[in-house]
Each structure stands twice: as C-alpha cells, then as structure tokens.
C-alpha cells in the first residue's frame, strides 16, 4: 500500500531510532499474530467471542473436568500450535540477526517468534507457551505434542508419568502468577533499554503493560505499532496506527538501507 508522506516520515524516524539504538527491546501482543491467522482476544471474532474467559481460570481448571476438556479441545484445535510466523515476526528475527535486539518480551503463547528464528533465550514469554505442558504437582514439563497424542487416544485429561499429577498447558491462566524469573528479567530489560517498540498490544493486560511504562520512565524512546489506539499513545515518541506486518516490513527495509551506507 502507498504510504502518505506523514507515514513515510514515521517509518524513517523509527528506522533511525533502531539504527542509533544500543539496547532495543521489542514487546509483542496478540496483534502481531493475527496476520498468522490467530485471533486476538478483544477484536471482533476474537477468542473471547468463542470461549468463556471464566473457563480459563486456574481454580476452574483444577476443579472442573468440563473446563479441563475445553482447554484440551482448544489445544487440539491446533490453530495455535500449527500457525506460521508472518512478516512482523520475521522482521523481529532479522533485528536479532543484525545484532540489534536485546530481547523480545511477548505476551503471546504461540511460539511464533522462535519459529521465525529468534533464539529461545532472547524470547521472554510472560504468559507461558502452548507448545509445552506442565505437571501441576511436580512441575515436570512435556511437549504439547506428546500429551495431545494421549488426549486424542482416550479423550482423558493427561496425568504425569512421574507423580500422576494433573497436566495443564504451560500457559498462565487467570488467577495464576506470571513466571517470576521471566517477569523480573523483562522488567530489568525494559528499564535498561534505550528503545522500546510495542507491536500489536492493546496494553491493557497487567503486569505486562507496565513494561513500556518502565522503559519510558527510564528514559527510553517508546514506539507503538498497533492498528487501534492504546492508553499509552500519548506517552509514545512515535505511534503508527497500522498493520504490524506491513509496518515492520517497511521499517526493516529502511534499516537494511541504513546499515549499507
């Protein structure tokens, strides 16, 4: 799509910020993955129009077999596990290859940053991942593929091989705390960076949404790329209201050109 002069100026400004940055953090939400066919939560057609958020509380999961079955059916549906990265994920992976990326802090559970080529140790998953499952008693981890195979076989919720504890997808349910080490690392990176780029997040889910505020308060430049307004737009240095994929592709071609001069 043809960019207006004002949009082009914003793309150039963001590319210049990236080229000048010594410590870049990218922060992503469900909006970076909608172009991969995974609906976000809050837009029309989003996950909450098909599933009841009450079924995703940890209290319900441990006590209600029906809620357990709904979780495993969502996992089985495969829309998250089988999704493929899009232009925006590949752009973030390219930033790492250029040596420009300190880390990606993501609220997503879809593993698409790693599939696009980001190193696992650079991806801080604040809300866990659908690619893995965990025993609620002893903490043993199993791939979702393994446990899904068992669920498909007998339609029973899988239990742990070591202690027979209940297995749950390794994602943070409502009512559960975020993984403390990851949250600490993400907070530290947000406070230490000089450039913080939000891609595809409504910035309403806390504590994840504290991260851009930490970055801004610590003196970093803040860029927000989202196709609708966010509560932090007024604090951002550059706001692009548009598609994550197209915007990141445009930014990356400018960054590549800048690295060649």
| Contact positions vs ligand NAD (CB under 6 A) | 29-31, 33-35, 38, 40-43, 47, 107-110, 127, 200-202, 204-205, 226-228, 243-244
In the complex, minimum distance from the CB of residue 141 to Zn ion, in angstroms, rounded to a whole number: 10
User: How many angstroms separate the CA atoms of 140 and 164, rounded?
Assistant: 11
In the complex, minimum distance from the CB of residue 96 to ligand NAD, in angstroms, rounded to a whole number: 19
254 binds, among ligand NAD, Zn ion, none (CB under 5 to 8 A by kind): none
191 binds, among Zn ion, ligand NAD, none (CB under 5 to 8 A by kind): none
60 binds, among Zn ion, ligand NAD, none (CB under 5 to 8 A by kind): none
- Of 137, 187, 191, 227, the one binding Zn ion by CB under 5 A: 137
Tokens 């604090």 sit at which residue?
235
Q: Are 182 and 13 in contact (CB under 8 A)?
A: no
163 binds, among ligand NAD, Zn ion, none (CB under 5 to 8 A by kind): Zn ion
Per-residue b/e over 203-238, b at no fewer than 16 CB within 10 Å?
beeeebbebbbbbbeeebbbbbbbeeebebeeebeb
**Using the 8-state DSSP alphabet, how is residue 123 labeled?**
E
Per-residue b/e over 168-198, b at no fewer than 16 CB within 10 Å?
bbbbbbeeeebbeebbeebbebbbebbbbbb
Indicate the residue whose CB is closest to ligand NAD.
31
In the complex, minimum distance from the CB of residue 159 to ligand NAD, in angstroms, rounded to a whole number: 26
In the complex, minimum distance from the CB of residue 37 to ligand NAD, in angstroms, rounded to a whole number: 10
Residues forming contacts to Zn ion in the complex (CB under 5 A) are 135, 137-138, 140, 160, 162-163, 165
Which residues are known catalytic residues? 127
């Amino acid at each position: 799509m043809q960019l207006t002069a004002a949009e082009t100026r914003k793309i150039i400004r963001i590319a210049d910020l990236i080229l000048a940055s010594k410590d870049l953090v990218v922060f992503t939400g469900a909006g970076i993955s909608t172009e991969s066919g995974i609906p976000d939560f809050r837009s029309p057609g989003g996950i909450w129009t098909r599933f009841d958020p009450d079924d995703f509380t940890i209290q319900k999961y441990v006590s209600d077999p029906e809620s357990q079955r709904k979780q495993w059916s969502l996992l089985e549906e495969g829309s998250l596990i089988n999704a493929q990265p899009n232009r925006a994920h590949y752009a973030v992976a390219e930033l790492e290859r250029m040596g420009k990326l300190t880390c990606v802090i993501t609220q997503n559970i879809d593993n698409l940053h790693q599939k696009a080529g980001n190193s696992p140790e650079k991806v801080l998953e604040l809300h866990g991942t659908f690619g893995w499952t965990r025993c609620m008693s002893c903490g043993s981890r199993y791939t979702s593929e393994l446990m899904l195979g068992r669920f498909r076989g007998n339609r029973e919720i899988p239990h742990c091989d070591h202690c027979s504890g209940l297995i749950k997808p390794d994602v943070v349910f409502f009512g559960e705390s975020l993984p403390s080490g990851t949250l600490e690392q993400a907070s530290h990176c947000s406070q230490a960076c000089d450039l913080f780029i939000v891609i595809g997040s409504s910035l309403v889910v806390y504590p994840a949404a504290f991260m851009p505020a930490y970055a801004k308060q610590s003196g970093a430049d803040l860029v927000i790329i989202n196709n609708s307004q966010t509560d932090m737009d007024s604090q951002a240095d550059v706001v692009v209201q548009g598609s994550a994929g197209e915007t990141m592709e445009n930014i990356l071609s400018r960054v590549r050109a800048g690295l060649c001069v």
